[in-house]
Structure 1
Amino acid sequence: MEIRIDGLSHDGQGVGRHDGVACFVPGALPGERVTVRLVHRARRHWLTSLEEVLTVSPARRRPPCILADHCGGCSLQHLVDAQQAHWKEQRVREALERIGGLATPVAAVITAPAALGYRNRAIIPLERRPDGRLRAGYYRRGTHRIVNMSRCPVLDPRLDALIAPLKADLDTSGWPVDRELAGPGGLRHLALRIGHHSGEVLLTLVSSHPDLDQLPRWAERWQQRWPQLVGVTLNLQPQPTNTLLGAETELVAGRSWLAERFCGLELRIASDTFFQVNTPQAERVVPLLLQALEGVNPGLLVDAYCGIGTFSLPLAQAGWRVHGLERNPEAVRLAALNAAVNGLAAVASFEAGEVGTLLPSWLPRCQALFLDPPRRGLDGAVLAALQASPPPCSST
């Protein structure tokens, strides 16, 4: 059937209506008239497939990646960058006004310096085909079927250049690959991380078990081939879930962390700890935080979900006494180490535990609160604590 696309969903699908029922159309853009095939009727909407674009949006472009129409890693490469920024801004405004009921002004999106080649981390699913050949790539939208790839233009080019040769080595290694744990187990993902400024690289193999024959020899070979590769680790994820990384990471060669410069500070980042994937864009956040804190006498600032101290330490350097809360004990260990490396241990402390449990005792003592929660947002315990004891100044 033919419908008109009026908007975009949160995950970049075109949204139109048929007989008053919303239709989600992957690949369609606002302003376009399209022919779609109805695929599945949910309770309140239709899922469809795009058959033909009858009226083409002037904002449509040829995607920079040749796999964009198949790979589910990106959803809006067919939309020009300026319109991507517009629709992201619109999504924020709608969330605040329609869902939150807040009449909060929304500033224009501060777009990244580079639309491609910025991502400093990749976790790439692996599989072996029935003929034994290894495939690596992201999932096709809505499936667990891998779209085989040898490069990804969203990645930092220095990481991108490693995918094809590493994929070839994993193919010839003879190691079992069992991503879905349908058999006895094996490799599940290839993880790469780079310091944007330092150029140091960490390579992590994610496996359900440690029985990878000659892994130390392969790691030594990789480090000789790529001097920027400062460490090779093995992460064990034996659980039959979609969780990408397990709780245990073993050092195979080199060191378990890379060094990176961030806002003039030296940070140590491990393969299994969170760090913003777009380093230059994350550095642009710090001046905005300091601007939000103007007029507040620097005192105690609580950084909830602090990670390795990414934002805690620049704020401490600016004169705040910072206390970070973080669930991941390894991240807390690195945050304390990063504070010591930068001479900030006297004004920056960190604590491991559930933020919702730790935060209530700190709120009455702090002058400011910074929240950088995981993608799922703030849990009920954190919201209850904020309602019971709001800090004088908060920034999210």
Structure 2
Amino acid sequence: MAASKVQLGSTIEVLVTGLGHEGQGVGRWMETAVFIPGALPGETVQARVRRCAKRHLEADLLEVSQASPERQKPPCILAERCGGCSLQHCSSAMQLELKRDLVQQSLSRLAKLETSVEAVWGCEQGFGYRNRALIPLERAEDGRLRAGYYRRGSHKIVNLNHCPVLDPRIDALIEPIKKDLEKTGWPVDVNLSAKGGLRHLALRVGSATGEILITLVSSHRQLKGLESLAQRWMERWPEVVGVGLNVQPKASNVVMGPETDLIAGRAWLLEIFDGIELRIAADTFFQVNTAQAQRLVEPLRHFFAAGKSATVIDAYSGIGTYSLPLARSGLKVLGLEVHPLSVSQATANAERNGITTAFFEQADVAAVLAERLKMTGSLLVDPPRKGLSAEALGAILDGTPDRLAYISCNPSTLARDLQQLCGEEGGYRLETVQPVDFFPQTSHVETLALLTHSGSAA
């Protein structure tokens, strides 16, 4: 029977040989690729076909006929339903090897680069590592509040009171905050299908300080009694330093809107990163795994210190996460960031720590990078998951900085960009590809790629 003729609901037997970018097991049936969430490489499984795409099948795991020795019982009782984690059923050692393979395969298949990828830097904390949570909310027909991440492949919330990958200090707040919000009677509608209302609960903790921010995301400000509730939270939990209301009126998958009202306390928490005090707001970007993010500082410092230029451009610099440690080590750093609040926080963080060689400019990286590269031969880029824009990549290819460090959270877009940078026209040589496990129990992996231009000394 041809794969194109397989019927929905059919049961098929598949030998799983690899892992997809979303953590699904990948095998072949009748020469057609099959994606099966919950299956591991090396396993033979029975699966039910639920979707027939043009070039692949998607199937639900029914039974593991021959299990991998690396299979384990997920610590979280919701792991099989919740879409937050995709690899809790896989041993830590195998997770690291699978993530290394994801990066290696992306570089070889997509970028045609036969570069050796280093072993993944594992995370000491396999659970309790996330310093931030963004949890969708909805109110059931009986009035009860539901909070949780979406079921894999859907927009149906899997109700939870605890999440083991969250820092325990914010995980402990989910259940009592849910109970308080349930009593308010406020409308809750994450999808804005009715009259709007609360959409998400956002929690953030300073890993080193324990300071916590609570932020409610709503489509409007009509939440009667919010001020008194915020005060009660701060009195109940002294570690909570601020409560905010972020307004996101758009029916969008962008969780937070552009405005956050301070309801009680202060709008930022304090974090210690590489010995530097950072102020972090509820709606500015900071890596969710503080300890693993800090491990990138030393290789970046060493890489740029060995270059010809004493000035580094940090594109997509955020609140100065990497700009400030580099500047403190003796380099001059210019951070480029489009988000105005992040720029003001980065500037304040530099002043707070007495760092005088880090400067920050609010700008669209793609629009100004070509001009800024005229001042230096060292560049750090830490773009979003979509990778570098065509304009930013073009500026790098034209400006040819001697040293380029690329921090990526998406192996596919990293490979796409490296294909151009390391091609004949780009002229870059990959010195190191170092994956780092920022996200244990998931298929996501952070990667640091260090490149030197062929026209410069390595």
Q: Distance in 1 between matches of 2:165 and 2:262?
A: 28
Question: Could you tell me how far apart the structure 2 residues matched to 1:295 and 1:305 are?
Answer: 22
**Structure-2 separation of matches of 1:294 and 1:238:** 46
**Aligned equivalents of 2:78, 2:327: Cα separation in 1:** 43
Equivalent of residue 302 in structure 1, options 295, 313, 324: 313
Structure 2 counterpart of 1:392: 402
The answer on whether the counterparts of 2:309 and 2:376 sit within 8 Å (CA) in structure 1 is no
Q: CA deviation at 1:297?
A: 4.4
Distance, in Å, in 1 between the alignment partners of 2:85 and 2:274 is 29
What is the CA–CA distance in structure 1 between the aligned matches of 2:97 and 2:150, rounded to whole Å?
27
- Counterpart secondary structure, 2:263: strand
Distance in 1 of aligned mates of 2:308 and 2:329: 12
Shift of 1:288: 1.5
Q: Read off the aligned partner of 1:291 and give its amino acid letter.
A: H
Higher mean displacement: 200-209 or 349-358: 349-358
Asked whether the 8 Å contact 2:377–2:400 carries over to 1, the reply is no
What's the CA shift for 1:292?
Answer: 2.1
When the two chains are superposed, the root-mean-square deviation of aligned CA atoms in Å is: 0.9
Give the percent of matched residue pairs that are identical in Structure 1 and Structure 2: 53
Task: Identify the residue that residue 118 of structure 2 maps to in structure 1.
Answer: 107
Pick aligned residue for 2:362 from 346, 352, 368: 352
Query: Deviation at 1:258?
Result: 0.4
Shift of 1:291: 2.6
TM alignment of 1:1-396, pairs within 5 A: 1-297=12-308, 299-344=310-355, 346-396=356-406
What is the letter of the counterpart of residue 114 of structure 1?
Q
Q: Tell me how far apart the structure 2 counterparts of residues 185 and 30 of structure 1 sit (CA, whole Å).
A: 43
Q: Which residue identity lines up with residue 95 of structure 1 in the other structure?
A: S
| Other structure's SS at 1:77 match | coil
Length-normalised TM-score, structure 2: 0.85
The TM-score, its normalising length taken from structure 1, stands at 0.98
One-letter amino acid of the structure 2 residue matched with residue 18 of structure 1: W
Q: Secondary structure at the match of 1:235?
A: strand
Structure 1 stretches of 5 or more lacking a match?
Answer: none
Deviations 1:360-386 (A, max 9, x none): 111121131011111111111111111
- Does the residue aligned with 1:362 lie in a helix, a strand or coil? helix
CA distance in 1, matches of 2:295, 2:217: 32
Q: CA deviation at 1:3?
A: 1.2
TM-superposed CA distance for 1:341, in Å, is 0.5
State the Cα distance separating 1:353 from its structure 2 match.
2.0
Greater mean deviation of Cα atoms: 284-293 or 117-126: 284-293
The answer on whether the counterparts of 2:305 and 2:331 sit within 8 Å (CA) in structure 1 is: no
- Give the distance between the partners of 1:35 and 1:193, measured in 2 at CA: 41
- AA partner of residue 365 (structure 2): V
Distance 1:390 1:91 in 2: 28
